[in-house]
Chain A
Amino acid sequence: MLCSNTEDIPGQQIVEFYGVVTGSTVRAKHIGRDIAAGLKNFVGGELKGYTELLQEAREEALHRMMEQARSVGANAVINVRFGTSSVAQGAAELFAYGTAVKVE
């Protein structure tokens, strides 16, 4: 499954459009990471626990989007965009969307 955030897959020809596909996941940070991050907050710098959390969540959203694209018979997703919205305190939704296409 190919992905790109441009309007095509560079170097390949689009032969069919399948419409928008989306993928999302809602994640909350757990207390262990919260405490570690709270301590790190004092001295500043990277909060690794949160970086990993968001990376995992984004991968999951992308994965679900690609699954959806696969189920409609596409072999690539173009013009991928990301979005974030906070649903509740300490929880956030991460979503990815794009256009499923067939390329050759």
Chain B
Amino acid sequence: MDQLIILGFPLFLLLLTYFIGRHLESNHYKSIREREAATKDMVAINFPRFPFDVEIERAGMVMGSVVVSHDHFKRFLAQLRIIVGGRIKSYEPLLDRARREAVLRMKEQALARGHNTVVNIRLETSRLANSRRGGKGTAGVEMLAYGTALTVREGL
């Protein structure tokens, strides 16, 4: 019985985090898709300036950032994957989610300030080290998106 508990608990934890993590991820993707659809009219480019001659009323800097982490189950999968190498599929959605979320937050900030375009977008990724395991583990990944928001006069 004791052995069953010792063996069963990590397995239970893996299964539990698999289901919770999957649920949270699909919820997040749903919200990302909805908000991307809502802000699709806003032009966001990584050009230093607006490509056409337009009249610019106002400019200001905007940014959006998010710190995300992956679940226990995916971390376990990745650890297995690192032994044999190759593509770590379980990490990809995490970074994708973070990047899209950061860009969305930046766009939302620009919209809230009354701008309608963002130019010169830059994306930055940084890893947050885990302070408990001597800085070895990863506590999360920070994604930062920033750019210059413009208010371009309508009707062009």
- The answer to whether A4 and B59 touch (CB under 8 A), given A10-B150, A50-B128, is yes
- Decide yes or no whether B67 CB sits under 8 A from chain A: yes
CB distance from B123 to the nearest CB of A (A): 11
Contact check, B70 vs A10: say whether CB atoms are below 8 A apart: no
Contact B131 A50 (CB under 8 A): no
CB atoms of B69 and A10 under 8 A apart: no
Q: Is the CB of A47 within 8 A of B61?
A: no
A11 within 8 A of B: yes
Q: Decide yes or no whether B11 CB sits under 8 A from chain A.
A: no
Nearest CB of A to B91, in Å: 11
Return chain A residues, CB-CB under 8 Å to B89. Answer: none
Given A3-B61, A4-B148, A43-B17, A34 contacting B67 (CB threshold 8 A): no
Q: Which of B118-139 contact A (CB under 8 A)?
A: 119-120, 122, 124, 126, 128-129, 131-132, 134-135, 139
Q: Contacts of A84 on B, CB cut-off 8 Å?
A: 126
Q: Are B59 and A10 in contact (CB under 8 A)?
A: yes
Residue pair A44, B94 in contact (C-beta under 8 Å): yes
| Contact of A5 with B131 in the complex, beta carbons under 8 Å | no
Could you tell me the distance in whole angstroms from the C-beta of A24 to the nearest C-beta in chain B?
15
Q: Are B67 and A46 in contact (CB under 8 A)?
A: yes
Interchain CB contact (< 8 A) of A46 among B49, B61, B68, B71: B68
Q: Are A10 and B119 in contact (CB under 8 A)?
A: yes
A51 on interface, CB distance cutoff 8 Å: yes
Q: Are B61 and A51 in contact (CB under 8 A)?
A: no
On chain B, the residues within 8 Å of A58 by CB distance are 63, 65, 144
Give residues 63-87 of B contacting A (CB, 8 Å).
63, 65-72, 74
* B48: A residues at CB distance < 8 A: 6-7
Most chain B CB atoms below 10 A, which of A11, A42, A45? A45
B residues with CB within 8 A of A: 13, 17, 20-21, 24-25, 28, 48-50, 55-61, 63, 65-72, 74, 94, 101, 119-120, 122, 124, 126, 128-129, 131-132, 134-135, 139-140, 142, 144, 146-148, 150
Interface residues of chain A, those whose CB is within 8 Å of chain B, are 2-7, 9-12, 29, 34, 37-38, 40-48, 50-51, 54-55, 58, 80, 82, 84, 86, 89-90
